[in-house]
Amino acid sequence: MTVTNKKSAPRSKHQGINKEINDNHKILHKRTDTMIYALGGLGEIGKNMYCFEHENEILIIDAGVHFPEENLLGVDYVIPDFGYLVKNNHKRKVLVITHGHEDHIGGIPFLLKSVDIEAIYAPKFAVALINKKLEERRMLRSVKIREINSSSSINMKHFTVGFFNTVHSIPDSLGVLINTPNGRVVETGDFKFDLTPVGTNADYQIMAYMGQIGITLLMSDSTNSGVEDFSISEKKVAQMILEITRKTNGRLIVATFASNVHRVQQILEAAVACGRKVIVFGRSMENVVQIGRKLGNIKVGEEHFLKPEQLAHTPADKVCIICTGSQGEPLAALSRIASGTHRFIKLIPGDTVVFSSSPIPGNGASVNQVVNKLFKAGANVLTKSVLNNLHTTGHASQEEQKLMLQLIKPKYFMPVHGEYKMLIQHRETAIETGVKPENIFTCANGDVLLMRDGKVFQSSIRIPADDIYVDGNDISGVSTAVLKDRKVLADNGLVSVVIAIDSRENKLLCKPVIVSRGFVFIKDSQGLLKEAEMVVYNALKEKMTQRITFSDIKNTIRSSLEPFLYNKTHRNPIVIPVILNSKEAMAQMQQQRAQRMKQNSEHKEKPLSKPRRADAKQAKPAQ
């Protein structure tokens, strides 16, 4: 087993049975312990992935993604670090999915590329979404996918897994009961308690029964730990949407999360009840509606749907448009509608736009920008407020979290699925319900809990659990250095220094040529660039009096130019040396210099002709 120790300590051949506690009050691991750790989902919202390991078996609960923040330039997804699972590929691994949201299933294609998974067990709606995801990537044959429900069980050598129904914003949401050799664990998945749910009700009796037979550790959803009281029932949102649909005279445009299947179902049913034809825009929304209708979660016939070309010929008061973009995403359908760039929809005065969602923290400015554009186009915009019930959460508030704690009655508690402040707030809620403070573990990704004979301890070992940034479908990860370069390019631009040398004679053939992009305005900075060329030229002349390599030349260019540019402009552009190693390069350099002078006189820049790059590999020392 390969792990990273938080505190180095001498290792002995008997360490596996050592029961002593180290200086950090964390117990040392023994072979018969059950390990519990998260590769994602702690200290963050997203990329949920919780692992249970005993000897030669690893049970994985969920494999999600996290969508990048604005500062992660060019990153498509953030996924967990699968390195530890790859190193333990010899162990049997089973993946269990609690429900079909992206923060629980989005990482599956990336996981399957590097980790051997025996089978994926998922509820019905999640199976359809996973199949769609793997089909798009031509990976359907890479793993067995088996459908489960609240009556299913999974029997492994060391783990026996059972399930119970929970209420969430997507159909077929399950909580998980895990029987291990050292105790029982309940992982709730995402849940809320809704006494008038749209879909399947929660299994209150099963939860209460589990509490009676005894649960060692509860791992529970912490997303809404800071929200008091009970959340609003989904039925109340359905009533509000139906009322607005009836009162609206013109076209009705409703934006919501495509992942909120129950909400989409309610919007469609309200439109049909009011005699409106429906049209769906947004790829993710179209996929969800298609799967929902196929599985029977959305009971709306084909005769109630419009095709894009029929939209212009349908009376405005008979149209309901459901679309993505409730969070102000620039490329989502609603943003394009608001900007007037959508292919099929042009806003007209009298349109009513309903946001059946709440802005995710950090998205408020984007949402407001879209709302302002909609108002400018003459639309009537309705958003969630104290005056209406246009949205409710799919996650348990404080009172619902207390109810889960009271039903399960765990001896130990580990808050999961939330930012750090949410985990701490959930800890306080657990203490209020009677869980002992010393029995609560507020962990970070990579921290390991050990379950031994019905007791849970914090381990002295730690598993690597860094974020992996995915660019396209490449799961090798975009390094921090790449992201730093993208930030520098965005803020300070680029400077390219082109020089011509004769390595045989170890001399410069002419003065360097400096070209910039996104750094300074060329027309107004001729003096600065000429001075910079002389700085590089003098530094290289001095350096080339001795035996040097191409690497030495590049380092000399950077070390002389970067401080000069910062002193003059207080900016740090990326400096890229380009070395031409031939006598013929001198003629090319002179031609390029003449072209640049001509371009400057025309007040514009054009790219350099592509030179032969000699800096792509280490050169032999100049003779």
> To the nearest whole number, what is the mean pLDDT of the chain?
87
* Predicted structure pTM score: 0.78
SS3 content of the chain, % helix, strand, coil (to 5): 35, 25, 40
Structure tokens at 612: 């032969």
What is the reported pLDDT for 541? 87
Q: What is the pLDDT of residues 555-586, one digit of tens each?
A: 999 999 999 998 888 888 989 999 888 656 55
Please state the residue numbers annotated as binding site for Zn(2+).
Answer: 74, 76, 99, 101, 103-104, 168, 190, 417
From CA 496, how far away is CA 575, in angstroms rounded? 6
Please state the residue numbers annotated as binding site.
Answer: 74, 76, 99, 101, 103-104, 168, 190, 258-260, 391-395, 417, 471
From CA 525, how far away is CA 355, in angstroms rounded? 49
In the chain, the largest separation of any two C-alpha atoms, in whole Å, equals: 88
Please state the residue numbers annotated as binding site for substrate.
Answer: 258-260, 391-395
Q: What is the pLDDT of residues 181-211, one digit of tens each?
A: 999 999 999 999 999 998 899 999 999 999 9
Q: In this model, does residue 330 exceed pLDDT 60?
A: yes
What is the reported pLDDT for 479? 59
- Cβ distance 115 to 89 under 8 Å? yes
- Cβ distance 477 to 470 under 8 Å? yes
Residues 6+ apart with CB under 8 A from 131: 140, 145
Percent of the chain clearing pLDDT 70 (strictly above): 87
Confidence bin at 425 (pLDDT 50/70/90): very high
What is the reported pLDDT for 474? 62
What is the reported pLDDT for 583? 59
Task: For residue 587, give the DSSP letter.
Answer: H
- Please compute the mean of the pLDDT values over residues 381-401 and round it to a whole number: 89
Specify the range with the lowest mean pLDDT, choosing from 233-242, 434-443, 586-595.
Answer: 586-595
Residue spans per domain, the chain: 4-229+394-470, 234-382, 480-601
In the numeric block, the tokens 């108002």 are attached to 375
Q: In this model, does residue 484 exceed pLDDT 80?
A: no
Q: In this model, does residue 399 exceed pLDDT 90?
A: yes
From CA 48, how far away is CA 55, in angstroms rounded? 23
What superfamily would CATH give domain 4-229+394-470? Answer: Ribonuclease Z/Hydroxyacylglutathione hydrolase-like (3.60.15.10)
Taking phi over 0 as left and psi of -120 to 50 as alpha, with beta for the rest, 378 belongs to left
- Cβ distance 439 to 411 under 8 Å? yes
Q: In this model, does residue 430 exceed pLDDT 80?
A: yes
* Burial class for 360, CB neighbours closer than 10 Å (0-12, 13-18, 19+): middle
Q: How many CA atoms does the CB half-sphere of 68 hold within 13 Å? A: 18
Q: In this model, does residue 489 exceed pLDDT 90?
A: no
Q: What is the pLDDT of residues 68-104, one digit of tens each?
A: 776 676 778 889 999 999 999 999 999 999 999 999 9
Q: In this model, does residue 126 exceed pLDDT 90?
A: yes
Q: In this model, does residue 153 exceed pLDDT 80?
A: yes
> Number of H helices and number of E strands within the chain?
16, 26
Q: In sequence order, what DSSP letters do the residues of 357-410 get, joined into one string? A: S-PPTT-HHHHHHHHHHHHHTT-EEE---TT------SS--HHHHHHHHHHH-E
SS3 letters for 165-217?
A: EEECCCCCEEEEEEEECCEEEEECCCCECCCCCCCCCCCHHHHHHHHHHCEEE
Q: What is the pLDDT of residues 300-323, one digit of tens each?
A: 999 999 999 999 899 999 999 999
> Which residues on adjacent β-strands are paired with residue 115?
none
Q: Provide the pairing of β-strand 410-416 with 34-40.
A: unpaired
> Which residues on adjacent β-strands are paired with residue 448?
37
What is the reported pLDDT for 255? 95
What is the reported pLDDT for 511? 87
Residues 6+ apart with CB under 8 A from 438: none
What CATH number does domain 480-601 carry, 3.10.20.580, 3.40.50.880, 3.40.630.10, 3.30.750.24? 3.10.20.580
Q: What is the pLDDT of residues 20-61, one digit of tens each?
A: 333 345 677 888 999 999 999 999 999 999 999 999 999 999
3-class DSSP state for residue 324?
coil
Q: What is the pLDDT of residues 524-557, one digit of tens each?
A: 788 888 899 999 999 998 888 887 888 889 999 9
- Please compute the mean of the pLDDT values over residues 110-122 and round it to a whole number: 95
* Burial class for 62, CB neighbours closer than 10 Å (0-12, 13-18, 19+): buried
From CA 48, how far away is CA 187, in angstroms rounded? 12
Active-site residue list:
221, 395
Domain range 234-382, CATH class? alpha beta
What is the reported pLDDT for 318? 95
* 4-229+394-470 against 480-601: fold identical: no
Q: What is the pLDDT of residues 599-613, one digit of tens each?
A: 666 644 444 444 444
Q: What is the pLDDT of residues 251-291, one digit of tens each?
A: 999 999 999 999 999 999 999 999 999 999 999 999 999 99
- Please compute the mean of the pLDDT values over residues 296-303 and round it to a whole number: 92
Number of neighbouring beta carbons within 10 Å of residue 56: 11
Please state the residue numbers annotated as binding site for Ca(2+).
Answer: 471
